[in-house]
Each structure stands twice: as structure tokens, then as C-alpha cells.
Amino acid sequence: MLQTHDEADRGLSYSTPRWVKVFGIIAFVLVLLIALVLITGLGGEHGPGRHTPSTEQAVESNNPGIHTPPIEHSTQQP
Amino acid sequence: MIMTPGLRKFALTIHITSSVGWIGAVTAYLALDVTVATNQDIQTLRAAWMAMGWITGFVIVPMALISLLTGLVMSLGTKWGLFQHYWVLISFALTILAILVLQSETQLISRMATIAADPTTSANALRALPNTLVHSVGGALVLLVIQVLNVYKPSGLTPYGWRKRQEQRLIRQSADSKA
């Protein structure tokens, strides 16, 4: 049931609109799913480490025969 | 405090521009994110990551903050209020959530763009940079939900909004009875 301003103006009793309840249920299920994926690790590693290649990978040269120093990653904004 | 019609129009113009701009920038980011996920060409990957860094830092983040700020001004400066209508409250909560996730993602994207821009980064390391599709698709969906709520404005007062209405009704009734 959609709640209208007229109902409030007429002094009828309060009830949460149906669309808000549906929205809340969907949000709750989504949060549960996300929590489940994070807890069980089904979605793989999460957090900063997930998006950063390992130091070994980062310093790996195109030419493995030549030793290259580790890359200094500055905090410079793109 | 209710804004004057002129000021309201001005704030609304900035709010719509920044909100739609935010969605547009996320869509452009999404295209680059798909490129990163599906492409193996080093030059393309490097360019895409750098562009993703710039779009995030210079467009998405400013648009998001302007949208939040003007949204607050629009809700508090008009009859809608921030806590009286569910559509306003939910839009506000989703915007805050989107900005929090964006804030954490921005640091990672910036770091990866820096790695990609570094000419000494190897091809394998560049290809190993994971895409951010889950977050960008999720973010785009959240922004679309906010957009729909703002366009349709589904009716529904919060308990606080309901009490405010009742108070106003009682004030009107007592004024009418005195008249």
C-alpha cells in the first residue's frame, strides 16, 4: 500500500510503505550474500592485496636474463 | 530553511549535472574496465589503466562529492527534508555507501594506474593487474537505483516525517478553530 501525505494529513495510523519493505528485504539479502562471499572466500581474495601484483611479478622484467631493480611505486595521483 | 525559487533552480541544476555526470563517468570507466578484463595487448592495458586513474580522480570523485553536497542542500533547503521521505533517505544512504566504496577503490585504482604508467613494469605484471568490474558494475547499479528513486519519488513518509505531518495538522486545526 502506498502511503500518501493525505493519510498523514487525515491523521490515519502510520504504516511502512510496501515498496520500502521490498527494498529492505532485497538490501538485506544482498548484504547477506556479500558477507557470505567474503567470509567463505568464494569471491577470491578481497582488499588492497587483491588488486596489487606481488613484488616478484612487478619487478619481473620482459627480459628475464637481465636483473632489474624493484619498481618504486610513488603515491602520485593519476 | 526553505530556499528561494531562484536558488533552488540553481542548486537543482548543479545537482542534476553532477549526478548524471557521475553516472556518465562511471559508464566510461566501465568501458575501460571491460577493456582491461578482455584485452592482453600491453599498450592498450597501459593506456586503459592510466585513463581509469584519471577518470576516477578527476571526474568520478569530484562529481560524486558535488552530487552529495548539492543533494544535501536540495533536501534540507526544500519541503522534502532529509529524513521525512523514504526515497530521499534511501537515496542519501546509497550515495554515502557508493562514496565510501569509491573512496577505497580510488586508492587502489590510483596505485594500479601508477604501476601501469611505470615504463619498467613488465608485460606479465601489467597483465596480472586484476580488473575492478565487480565494484564498477555494482556502483553503476547503485547509481541507477538512486536515479530511479529521484525521478519517480515514490510516496512514503518515514516515522519522523509522519510525526512532522501530524504536528503540522494539529497546528492547522488549532489555528482554524481560533479563526
Q: Which of B114, B120, B154 sits opposite A19 (nearest CB)?
A: B154
- The mean pLDDT value of chain B amounts to 94
Q: What percent of chain A has pLDDT over 90?
A: 27
Residues in chain A: 78
Residues of B in contact with A59 (CB under 8 A): 122, 125
Q: Is A15 on the interface with B (CB under 8 A)?
A: no
Better-predicted residue by pLDDT, B177 or A62: B177
Q: Is B43 on the interface with A (CB under 8 A)?
A: no
| DSSP string of B117-165, one letter each residue | H-TTS-HHHHHHSPP-HHHHHHHHHHHHHHHHHHHH----B-HHHHHHH
Q: Which cell is B123 given?
A: 608485460
How far is A22 from A32, CA to CA, in rounded Å? Answer: 15
Whether B105 contacts B56, CB under 8 Å: yes
Q: Is A63 on the interface with B (CB under 8 A)?
A: no
pLDDT at A56: 45
Q: Which of A9, A60, A68 sits opposite B165 (nearest CB)?
A: A9
Distance from CA of A20 to the nearest CA of B (A): 7
pLDDT at B19 > cutoff 80: yes
How far is B92 from B73, CA to CA, in rounded Å? Answer: 12
- Helix B133-152 vs helix B5-38: crossing angle, to nearest 10: 150
Q: B132-141 pLDDT, tens per residue?
A: 999 999 999 9
Q: Is B136 on the interface with A (CB under 8 A)?
A: no
- The most confident of A8-12, A34-38, A71-75, by mean pLDDT: A34-38
Residue B151 Rama label (left phi>0; alpha psi -120 to 50; beta): alpha
Residues of A in contact with B128 (CB under 8 A): 53, 57
How far is B169 from A12, CA to CA, in rounded Å? Answer: 12
Residues of B in contact with A74 (CB under 8 A): 114
pLDDT at A73: 44
How far is B163 from B167, CA to CA, in rounded Å? Answer: 6
Q: B109-167 pLDDT, tens per residue?
A: 999 999 999 999 999 999 999 889 999 999 999 999 999 999 999 999 999 999 999 99
How far is B140 from B117, CA to CA, in rounded Å? Answer: 26
The DSSP element (H or E) to which A74 belongs, if any, is none
Q: Which cell is B146 given?
A: 538512486
pLDDT at A77: 43
Residue B153 Rama label (left phi>0; alpha psi -120 to 50; beta): left
pLDDT at A61 > cutoff 50: no
pLDDT at A63: 43
Q: What is the pTM of this model?
A: 0.81
pLDDT at A68 > cutoff 60: no
Residues A40-65 have a mean pLDDT of: 54
pLDDT at A45: 61
Residues B27-39 have a mean pLDDT of: 96
DSSP secondary-structure letter at A63? S
CA-nearest residue to A54 within chain B is: B125
pLDDT at A2: 46
Cβ neighbours of residue A74 under 8 Å, at least 6 residues apart? B114
ipTM associated with this complex: 0.79
Q: Which cell is B8 given?
A: 533552488
* Neighbour tally for B157: CB within 10 Å: 22
Contact A17 B108 (CB under 8 A): no
Cα B165 versus chain centre, distance: 30
Better-predicted residue by pLDDT, B33 or A61: B33
